[in-house]
Chain A
């Protein structure tokens, strides 16, 4: 019976090791990929805005309060019109996805830590 019990435990640990490693690889790689895509998109949007000289409008904020008050509406309107809307939408979606992925990762980090600790202890023994 002891032999069978050992065999069961070994199967469970083998299964869990594969699952945990795969889960870690998937989680980390998805965070890296989504983050990397987000950064690339952000850089491309910023480059586009610099080329269009749209960002020069932000110089307005160096002026007096009254001038800012007077022109802020126009500035926001122009910014909205000149923004590459599709890219910004994708960037927002990517940011939300990244945030969710990181939150899930943080939420499960305790569980994953415990699993890794248990697995290390077991494989060290055998």
Chain B
């Protein structure tokens, strides 16, 4: 427990993308903090805003479409949103480092590893080239690259995926940053390689006391790598807790739904899955009401019109934002009970999910209290006051962005 300023403080961050198709409300008011040396996981599916939040942190949103339209980001007391580009450049790399999902696109394919690493080091430290080179070799061996002196001369494409990611990590840690942001660092890797890279990441950040934000969709990965977790959905944080608390008492219907829809190695293999019905929302609409309502089994009438705020699970408890005693917070009008969490659906006698108002598509299958066996989607339920034909908008994952906001679909994935 420390009374010192947190290393990173994000306050009410709002990010929007202005495109000719309309405005995309990517991040809708996100608040969280990170202490020195702490590891935070940002978990969610594509389009939830986790990657955008991080790009916004270090002011790397694609311009001119992407803009921070509210809130601020305080790093070590400094407001990053108010800094000039050259001041930001000093911070990037030296204090905050980032590694991405696909090292092939974040490493320059026409430069050798040596050139890239030495360049990074010398950009922030005025040391002679020979020293920078020695440091590069040191880093490469730190991340477990065999024969680093010879591999310095290699090009990125001469490394395998796992090796490239290690090089990325080496470069990111070159200047011993205070904060490392890892955006889906292992999604494109085979599971055995993923284990290697995650272990490396964990050991190094612990050793160097680097704080880390780990962005991923994989609940298994965050379980082993983080101290705290923020679960994001449609640009909001819907649940925030320490890792132990989150898995011991997952409370938001979305978190509960996610945990019930993943096949687990430690479960019976024919344990039926309880998928979350429906699809992620279209981020082109400004949020009114709870963004998860169309897919939520616990929804009430007020969920359609009132967006719940992130509040402590036990009302009235003081909010601790960081550390092992961080408060378990959740944004929900109708929290599942302990038995319901375990069952994955509402169990209260007489509880019926609130119907959808006219003109709105109810993603949860018609007439089933506990959810249909496989979650039919696209079945339009109630009376629809539609003018004109409905067109199914592409999934909210379809942000018009370069690969940062997505995982999986970039062709680098398992090629067999």
Q: Do A and B come from one complex?
A: no
Mark A residues whose CB is within 8 Å of B: none
